[in-house]
């Protein structure tokens, strides 16, 4: 089974697909219907989520939030014809400008998504928006760093943060900005959420949040220092791309089930820092 369901609260379920780096889609059940945060990479996985959600709330999915434009969070939008799709202005712009091209490129590795239609967000906002469902309030906040259009969704009543890829096992900023990501992670620590739902992987419990986010910040600072030193000591680009992750402050494997992905993220980060400093 590629999609797993985890119950977090009476009105909150998380669906995770093992077919693409444990990508998460969260379902928030309201009396008006279900709100989904992120729509996975494979439309077939999203169809499965839609079926599972319907068993929990027969009204089905009415609203969708995309946390950023990357395909593994938006490609499943294609199966929804009449949902409201909410995202940052910039997310819609980036999907409109680059979506097709990225999809064609991605389809070379994942042929299943070939020909999938890019279904753009139809409600957008700039910086911050609030959604109200009876007594529940969701705050949508711009959190640049992983990508310029990234947002987090904060469920105020339960103090749960849906972080998209702003928080994943190893921070990834190849398409974003390292310094902005550090600032965003510090803001999240200051927010003191009780639970963080990551874009990929398992939720982070309250007692581990500060420690885990600080370790990610340490990595983001250290990778810059190490690449800078390596350029000064005239290490070649190839040698710099081989600097291991544990040299950058991440000691134990942050996701033993997906070590290759973690390595790929780290190599991309090294390449980005090198490009920025050169």
Number of residues that bind Zn ion (CB under 5 A): 3
CA angle (99 as vertex; 93, 101 as ends), nearest 5: 130
Buried b / exposed e along 158-181 (16+ C-beta atoms within 10 A): eebbbbbbbbbbbbbbbbbbbebb
Between residues 199 and 254, which has the closer beta carbon with respect to Zn ion?
199
258 touching Zn ion, by CB under 5 A: no
Stretch that binds Zn ion, among 40-48, 53-61, 147-155, 192-200 (CB under 5 A): 192-200
165 touching Zn ion, by CB under 5 A: yes
d(CA 200, CA 26): 11
Stretch that binds Zn ion, among 80-88, 117-125, 160-168, 244-252 (CB under 5 A): 160-168
Between residues 57 and 72, which has the closer beta carbon with respect to Zn ion?
72
Binding marks (x or -) toward Zn ion, 56..75, rule CB under 5 A?
----------------x---
d(CA 50, CA 36): 9
38 touching Zn ion, by CB under 5 A: no
d(CA 11, CA 57): 9
Between residues 85 and 240, which has the closer beta carbon with respect to Zn ion?
85
CA 61 from centre of chain: 20
Residues that bind Zn ion in the complex, under the rule CB under 5 A: 72, 165, 199
């Amino acid at each position: 089974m590629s999609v797993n369901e985890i119950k977090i609260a009476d009105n909150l379920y998380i669906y995770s697909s093992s077919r693409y780096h444990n990508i998460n889609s969260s379902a928030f059940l309201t009396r008006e219907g279900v709100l989904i945060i992120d729509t996975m990479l494979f439309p077939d996985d999203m169809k499965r989520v839609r079926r599972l959600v319907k068993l929990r709330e027969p009204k089905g999915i009415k609203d969708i939030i995309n946390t950023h434009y990357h395909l593994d969070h938006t490609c499943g939008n294609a199966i929804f014809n009449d949902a409201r799709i909410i995202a940052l202005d910039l997310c819609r712009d980036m999907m409109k400008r680059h979506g097709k091209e990225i999809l064609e490129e991605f389809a070379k590795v994942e042929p299943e998504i070939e020909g999938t239609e890019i279904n753009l967000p139809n409600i957008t906002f700039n910086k911050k928006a609030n959604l109200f469902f009876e007594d529940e309030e969701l705050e949508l906040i711009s959190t640049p760093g992983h990508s310029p259009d990234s947002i987090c969704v904060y469920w105020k009543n339960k103090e749960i943060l849906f972080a998209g890829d702003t928080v994943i096992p190893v921070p990834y900023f190849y398409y974003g900005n390292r310094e902005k990501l550090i600032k965003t992670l510090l803001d999240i620590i200051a927010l003191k959420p009780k639970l963080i739902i990551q874009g990929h992987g398992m939720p982070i419990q309250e007692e581990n949040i500060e420690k885990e986010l600080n370790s990610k910040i340490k990595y983001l600072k250290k990778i810059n220092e190490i690449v800078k030193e390596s350029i000064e000591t005239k290490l070649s680009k190839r040698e710099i791309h081989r600097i291991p992750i544990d040299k950058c402050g991440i000691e134990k494997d942050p996701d033993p089930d997906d070590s290759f992905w973690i390595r790929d993220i780290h190599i991309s980060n090294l390449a980005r820092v090198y490009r920025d400093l050169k």
